[in-house]
Structure 1
Amino acid sequence: MASSALQIIGFLLSLVGLAATISATFMVEWKKQWQVKSYKAYEGLWMTCSGNERTTCESHESVLKLPTEVQATRAVMMLSIFLSALAVMVSTLGMKCTRFMDGKAKSKSTVAMIGGIMFMVSGLLVVIITSWYVKMIVQKSNQSHRLQSFEFGKAVFVSLAGGLITVAGGAFLSCRRCSRSSSSESISSNQLISISHPKSNYV
């Protein structure tokens, strides 16, 4: 029962991390820029918004004209979402609370572990690419003019949180204790059956 609860907790954490990653990918506030005191500009992975009091947003027309950090971050974030979606399907097959592969306990625990590893890889991709994006923003801020200032926005924090939560959920799913507990439970139950029904040939 404890191992099944760990799997459910890990699966729910992974879903929360996936939702945070998806929302961060499509958020606009990845990078903030101030050119004048009243002029603000926000740059996202898919569009940019700028203006004084009222902001207008425009989607990125050409991928080739985008900065390198935007292109790389967009590609890795989409790869992470795709990998997490596959991990959801794999983990669903291997979790104890589902009825898939009921006759194959070892194979089912292995599938759950594979799904957890996929979640962990997906979360690590998000954390690595987001950290690299922050590093690029800091470098541009140091090289920019004094009238211009760059900062990272809310999407960066949401992305980092989503990646870390996904890694934590994948760690729960890929925990070896789940498969060991299932095997120990089956061994103990077999021992109880053999003790409760001893072989006797008394007449």
Structure 2
Amino acid sequence: MSSSGLQLLGFFLSLVGLSAVVAATFMVEWKQRQQGSKHHLYEGLWTRCSGNEIITCEPHDSLLDLPAEVQATRAVMLLSIFLSTVALLLSTVGMKCTRFMDGKAESKSTTAMVGGIMFMVSGLLAIAITSWYVTVIVQSFQVTHHLQSSEFGKAVFVSWAGGLLLMAGGSFLSCRRCSRSQSSSSESVSSNHLLSTTNPKSNYV
């Protein structure tokens, strides 16, 4: 696969990963608990929901009243989204299929590499904070009574998937070896073409 194809694949994976991280950040099913057979309680980073057949949601009252894991997860997930957004802009400028910075191949590859590294960092942040959030929930589940404890919900898996996609896409975008090999091969072809055009002239007297 050519370097342009790898960049497009990395850009697509990173875009899907960013969408997943954004969706996970605003999902309400980070923590869930069931009371009785039908009453469900859900708690997200921004809202909490409860109900039987009809679910009603309300935002968190105060930032200071939130548990530490919710505050930290909210901050790190927003940081991951911010870094991914900046990386998306840099990758768009640095990709070979775009017309930005034409005539500056080295600068374009460097810009794409920086964008890929930022994608990898944002994905790592999302995976790390989500894993820590799950660890806190599991520890509280083991300490408290099972009827009063909470379990982690679907948003955790969406966040993990988004972080993995960001890291995979960033690794493709930050690969410069492919672009260097392609540029070196094109330079060798052009040099061979010049030699083939100049050598016949040396046979004439």
Q: So what's the TM-score if we normalise by structure 2?
A: 0.94
Structure 2 SS opposite 1:146: coil
SS class of match (1:197): helix
Residue 107 of structure 1 pairs with residue 110 of structure 2: no
Residue matched to 1:48: 48
Counterpart in 2 of 1:17?
17
Q: Distance in 2 between matches of 1:146 and 1:168?
A: 37
Structure 1 counterpart of 2:149: 149
The answer to whether the 8 Å contact 1:123/1:166 transfers is yes
Distance 2:104 2:38 in 1: 64
1:54, distance to aligned residue in structure 2 (A): 2.3
Unaligned runs of 5+ in 1: none
Alignment-derived partner of residue 193 in structure 2:
193
**How far apart in 2 are the matches of 1:57 and 1:100?**
45
Of the structure 1 ranges 73-82 and 138-147, higher mean CA displacement relative to structure 2 is found in 138-147
Q: Which amino acid counterpart does residue 154 of structure 2 have in structure 1? A: K
> Deviation of residue 79 (structure 1)?
0.5
Q: How does 1:37-186 map to 2 (within 5 A)?
A: 37-186=37-186
Per-residue deviation, 1:14: 0.2
Superposition deviation, residue 184 in structure 1: 1.4
Identity %: 66
Count of residue pairs the alignment pairs up = 203
Measured in 2, the distance between the counterparts of 1:80 and 1:8 equals 21
**3-state SS in 2 of match to 1:141:** helix
Aligned to 1:2: 2
Q: AA paired with 2:19?
A: A
Deviation at 1:147, TM superposition (A): 2.2
Structure 2: runs of 5+ lacking an equivalent: none
**Counterparts of 1:141 and 1:112, CA distance in 2:** 43
Q: CA RMSD in A?
A: 1.5
Secondary structure in structure 2 of the residue aligned to 1:63:
coil
Counterparts of 2:25 and 2:121 in 1: how far apart (Å)?
Answer: 17
Relative to the length of structure 1, the TM-score reads 0.94
